[in-house]
Structure formats: C-alpha cells, structure tokens
Amino acid sequence: MASADKPINTDVPEKDVFALHFLQSLSNLRRQNTFNSPEKTNDRVKKIKKAAYVSMARAAGGTNRLWSRALLRRAAKENNKVVRLPRRKKRVTCLRRRRSNRRDPVEEEEAERLRNLVPGGGGMETSKLMEETAHYIKCLSMQVKVMQCLVDGLAPK
Amino acid sequence: MNSSLLTPSSSSSSPHHLQSPATFDHDDFLQNFFSSAPWPSSALDDDAPPPTSDSSLAGFHHHDVDSRNQITMIPLSHHNPNDAVDVNAIYSGFSAGSLPFHFPQGSGGGVMKQSHTQTQSQATASTTTGGTAATPQTKPKVRARRGQATDPHSIAERLRRERIAERMKSLQELVPNGNKTDKASMLDEIIDYVKFLQLQVKVLSMSRLGGAASVSSQISEDAGGSNENTSGENQTTAKMTEHQVAKLMEEDMGSAMQYLQGKGLCLMPISLATTISTATCPSRNPLISAVKEAGVPLSPNAATTPVVNVKGASVVTVKDASSVSKP
C-alpha cells in the first residue's frame, strides 16, 4: 500500500525563463512568411496563443510534468509532428492504483470539470490532478505576468 | 473501566474519563507489552521513539472526544494484516481483568495515532491497544484505527482523502478568495480561476496584435459561445446585441439584464465607461476609434479583467458579469 507522501514539489521557474521561451517562440513566428500578412487576424491570434502555451509548457518543466507533456503532445499533433516523449515509469504505478481509488462521487464531478480544463487531466487520479492543477495555475499566472509586461512595454506612449 | 476499553465508541458520552491521569508508568507498561507481544518490527513506525511520557498524555487530554476514541484502538501499521489476530488475542487477555491499573482513555499516549487531527471516528467492534509507540505528530503516517483496520480499501480511502485534502490546502493558497471551507465551493473557485487565467492568456495574445475588432469579437464569442467571427462581422453582432437589448428594455428591465448577463455583459453609465477606459489604457491611441452616438471609445483593455466597451450602448464585458450597474 502507499506510504507517506513525499513533499509535493510545485516550484516554478522564475519569470525570466518564461519570458525567454515566449520571446523565442515569438521570434520564430515572425520568421514565418505567412504570419505577418494582416488579413486573417484570427489565425495570428490562434498561433500566438498556441505559442504562448507551448512556450509555457517548455519553460515550466518540459516533459517532467504531466500537463506539460499532454500540452506538447497536443500541440505537436496539430502540427502533424511526431513528438517523442520519454516514457516515465510512474505511469504504470498510477494505473495500478486506479482500481481501488476512484470513489467519492461528490467531488468527482468537479474533478471531471477540472480534468477538462487542465491539459492531460483525463488520465490522472484526483490527487495527482490537484497537484498538476497547482503547478498549472502557478505557471499560467507566471505566463500571464510575462505577457502583460510585454504588452505594457510595447504599448505606444 | 475495562468496558470502556472494549467500546470506545460509546465513551463519547463519558468525557470525565479524561480527568483521571494515568498513574502508572508508561514505559513499564509498554515494555511489558512489547516483550510479550510477537510484534514484528515493521509494525513500529520508522522513527518511533520510546513511548512518550506524560507530556504526550497531557497533551492528549486536551484532544476532543473523537481523537480520544481512536487512542484505544489499535494503531496497526497497515502493511501487516496478520497482526490483527495476534493483537486481538493479547487484548482479550488484557480484558480479562489483568490490568492492574486504572487504564484511562488517555493511556494511549503510547498508542496514539498521529493523524488524529483528521480523525473521523469510526465505530469499531473490538479495539485493542497496540503497543506501538507514539510517533511525532509531524509525521503524516496513517495508522489504522480499527480493529479490523486491515481492510486495505478503507485505508486506501483514507489515505487518498487525506492526500486530496492536503493538495486542496495548497491550492487554497494559490487561488485568490480561497477562504472557502467547503470542498465543493473551493473546487468551483479553482475551476473558475483556471478558466480565468486561460482567458487572460487568450486576451493578452490577442491584444498584442492591436486587433481591436478581433479582440471584441473573440471575447463576445467566449461569452456567447457562438462561432468565431471575422473582424467584419463583429460590427453586426454588436449591433444585434444592442437591438436585442433595446427591445428587451422596452418590455422589462429585468429580462434585459438577464439577457446581458447571459452574454457576459453589463450596463454602465457612459461617463463611467469613459473614465475606466481612459484610466486603464491611457496609451491606447490607435485603438480608440470614433464611435456612434455616445462617443464611447472602443478600447480593449488588456488588464486583468478584460473590459471591452461596445460602442454606443456602453455595455461592458466583465469577467463573470456579476456586477450590473444601472445608469
């Protein structure tokens, strides 16, 4: 049976890491020829948003976090790229525990909604889900701060 | 007194047991227990110190009745299902009256369970006093509290619930307004916050383009759930909304408000809207376009709460549209 938990690690890198990744992705986007034509603003919007999420996932932990792996995999699928993510042994043990642990229907519906929001939440147990949510929230707020700073800095005086 | 040992669940009605402190020596009692019981070493906690002295007992007295109930139960380690049998045998020996001392409920200073802070007292038929030493309270290991506590499912359940509660606590600090004690409402807050953050990312990614029209169209799409419109269509959707609202306002103000709320919009006086827009985005010159009658600037704001002024009707989108102010 499971023993005591190790202390949960929800550390998030500093703002600079996020900023660096985001700016790199933006500069990559600029190099694309199709990007700067201003007709289809919606496409640009979508691309920027996707770039924001992917850069956030990379900055936050790369493939060490379940949600970032799922995010990267999803993004890669959209680009029809094949992403090779290292398999982690932890997956197996997670599955093994699922047998006896999915109970408590009161919170399960809420957990369902959370699973739909957090990337990669479908395959997680509730406790793992909450851990991932905490990290996800931290990373999201960091990313928002970075983007806000960029927008403020670039706003015309 | 021995009967109280047997049925600790009923002792909730007898709190006076607390007042009689143990006069016996903990160490002796537990030493004897250890030597007699075929106790596998793994039953002990990892860093189990020798049975704690009166300090723990004294501290123990202050606990509420529920945690006291658990004391007398056997704190078996959950990896050892076989111990239950042995311990039961020993306990029956005890209950035969061989206890030479008054055995208050609190004697379980040596047997108390660490995570009693989160106890839910479960009625148990037979409870035995385990001889395992008390472990420091900081260690979150779970000791089985029932006599038949070796049921792995209940233990797993409890572990899982505690784990979830732990994570919830850490999440509570992250989410603003996380002072709700109710788990369900806390989860709601978390979900809303995640949605809000994702919306923020979306808005910020849009605002960088300076596409004012596309911004408002995207936002209204989120609120209304309609399909994505190109920038050209935005004007028509806004106009439609306005017409609809005007129509509803003629009939009943309340329904108009509800319609707006459903779209995630609210009404506010034009003066207030202008104040807000100039205050929050004073530098957004290229986005301010001359607008219809009211002259309200169309200026998507990339601040924390996405605010879009739809021209003319001074309708403002707020994050959850919970505030509606009438002109």
Instruction: Answer yes or no: do A137 and B161 touch at CB < 8 A.
Output: no
B54 min Cα distance to partner chain A (Å) = 27
**Cα separation of B24 and B189, whole Å?**
52
Instruction: Answer yes or no: do B175 and A110 touch at CB < 8 A.
Output: no
Q: What is the mean pLDDT of chain A?
A: 74
Instruction: Answer yes or no: do B194 and A107 touch at CB < 8 A.
Output: no
Report pLDDT for B143. Answer: 61
Residue B266: beta bridge partners? Answer: B316
Binned at pLDDT 50, 70 and 90, residue B12 comes out as: very low
Please say if the pLDDT value at position A149 is more than 50. Answer: yes
Report pLDDT for B230. Answer: 44
A1 min Cα distance to partner chain B (Å) = 7
Residues of chain A in contact with residue B78, where contact means CB-CB under 8 angstroms, are 1
Residues in chain B: 327
Instruction: Answer yes or no: do B159 and A2 touch at CB < 8 A.
Output: yes
Q: What is the mean pLDDT of residues B149-169?
A: 83
Instruction: Answer yes or no: do A114 and B190 touch at CB < 8 A.
Output: yes
Instruction: Answer yes or no: do A133 and B195 touch at CB < 8 A.
Output: no
Binned at pLDDT 50, 70 and 90, residue B138 comes out as: low
Report pLDDT for A120. Answer: 77
Pairs from A5-13 (Cβ < 8 Å, separation ≥ 24) = A5/B140, A5/B163, A5/B166, A8/A131, A8/A134, A8/B166, A8/B167, A8/B170, A10/A131, A10/A134, A10/A135, A10/A138, A10/B170, A12/A60, A12/A135, A12/A138, A12/A139, A12/A142, A13/A59, A13/A60
Give the mutation candidate from B120, B208, B220, B281 for the A interface (greatest A CB count, under 10 A): B208
Closest alpha carbon to B101 in B209, B2, B214: B2
Report pLDDT for A103. Answer: 56
Residues of chain A in contact with residue B190, where contact means CB-CB under 8 angstroms, are 114, 133, 137
Structure tokens at B20: 């009689």
Instruction: Tell me B177's DSSP state.
Output: T
**B164 compared with B118, residue with greater pLDDT:** B164
Report pLDDT for B139. Answer: 56
Please say if the pLDDT value at position B288 is more than 80. Answer: no
Task: Please name the residue of chain B whose CA is at the shortest distance from the CA of residue A111.
Answer: B187
Give the mutation candidate from B167, B219, B287, B301 for the A interface (greatest A CB count, under 10 A): B167
Task: Please name the residue of chain A whose CA is at the shortest distance from the CA of residue B161.
Answer: A127
The shortest CB-CB distance from A130 to any of B78, B167, B200 is to B167
Instruction: Answer yes or no: do A156 and B285 touch at CB < 8 A.
Output: yes
Taking the model in full, what pTM does it have?
0.47
Strand order in the sheet with B315-317: B265-267, B315-317, B309-310
- pLDDT tens digits for A1-16? 444 456 667 777 788 8
Please say if the pLDDT value at position B98 is more than 50. Answer: no
Q: DSSP secondary structure string, B248-317?
A: HHHH-HHHHHHHHHHHTEEE--HHHHHHHHHHH-TT-GGG----STT------B-SSS-B-EETTTTEEE
Report pLDDT for B30. Answer: 56
Residues of chain A in contact with residue B153, where contact means CB-CB under 8 angstroms, are 100
Closest alpha carbon to B222 in B199, B191, B206: B199
**Cα separation of B289 and B270, whole Å?**
16
Residues of chain A in contact with residue B208, where contact means CB-CB under 8 angstroms, are 48, 147, 150-151, 154
Domains of chain B: 151-208 (4.10.280.10), 238-267 (no CATH)
Report pLDDT for B121. Answer: 42
Most confident of A9-23, A80-94, B37-51: A9-23
**Cα separation of B7 and B73, whole Å?**
10
Please say if the pLDDT value at position B231 is more than 60. Answer: no
Q: What is the mean pLDDT of residues A29-55?
A: 73
Residues of chain A in contact with residue B202, where contact means CB-CB under 8 angstroms, are 49
Residues of chain A in contact with residue B152, where contact means CB-CB under 8 angstroms, are 1, 100
Please say if the pLDDT value at position B206 is more than 60. Answer: yes
B26 min Cα distance to partner chain A (Å) = 28
Please say if the pLDDT value at position A134 is more than 80. Answer: yes
Instruction: Answer yes or no: do A133 and B200 touch at CB < 8 A.
Output: no
Report pLDDT for B156. Answer: 86
| A–B CB contacts, 8 A cutoff, strictly below | 137
Q: What is the mean pLDDT of chain B?
A: 57
**Under a CB-based contact definition with an 8 Å cutoff, are residues B9 and B73 in contact?**
no
B167 min Cα distance to partner chain A (Å) = 6
Report pLDDT for A109. Answer: 81
Instruction: Answer yes or no: do A1 and B156 touch at CB < 8 A.
Output: yes
Binned at pLDDT 50, 70 and 90, residue A36 comes out as: low
Report pLDDT for A122. Answer: 74
